[in-house]
Amino acid sequence: MIKLLNLLKEDAFLDNFSKIDKIITKDHSNEIYKLLLGMFPSAKEVIDYQYNDEAGQPFAEWRRVIYEIDNHILSGPTTIDSKKIDLDSETIADRQAKYDQYIKDKEAGKPAKYFRDNNADPRTIDYTKLPPITVLETGGTYEVIDGAHRAFLAKMNNKSLKAYVWKKQKNTHPNVAKIKALFEKAK
């Protein structure tokens, strides 16, 4: 029964995706950014990072938690054990292939880059200096929302990472109603 309810929720999210995309990424992106900062001032670093695409809009990974902001609280950064990070097999296979290609290119003297915005060699990085990842806490484990490359490397090397943590918890901050009202206007 719970699995069926989760599937129905997923269908509702997907049915509303064009509306979500319009509200979050076009019409009210800057307004939502300011409302999120008002709710989570200690998370300015990660909110700024998520709103760092060319148009000042949030990356897609955050759209679901913004849409469901009445049921999420953001905390951090905190240090999490990589053993508690949940990466699906497809993500692991993809990151392993990118890592292997990096090593192959590097050893052949070709230009090599593992991270999108960082030239660091993934074999020699200082995990304490990596930017925090973003995760969703789910029953004692952490599902990666942003930072799968860093999470993969940390798991591979049994290292801890700094993370901002979305927790499924009732959010009663006054800005929640303001964000939800933006979605209601779009109906």
CA gap 106, 112 in Å, rounded: 6
Cβ atoms of 31 and 182 closer than 8 Å: yes
Residue 133 pLDDT = 93
Sequence-separated (6 or more) residues with CB below 8 Å from residue 158 = 82, 83
At 23-53, the pLDDT tens digits run 777 778 889 999 999 999 999 988 888 877 6
SS3 131: coil
Q: How far apart are CA 149 and CA 116, in angstroms?
A: 9
Kindly list the domain boundaries of the chain, sorted by start residue. Answer: 2-72+170-185, 80-168
- The answer to whether 163 and 135 are in contact (CB under 8 A) is yes
- pTM for the model stands at 0.81
Residue 2 has pLDDT above 60, yes or no: no
162's tokens: 């700094």
Q: What's the topology of domain 80-168?
A: 3.90.1530
Q: Which two tokens stand for residue 35?
A: 């409302």
Q: Give DSSP secondary structure letters for 58-70.
A: --GGGHHHHHTGG
Can you tell me the distance from the alpha carbon of 167 to that of 65, in angstroms, rounded to the nearest whole number?
A: 10
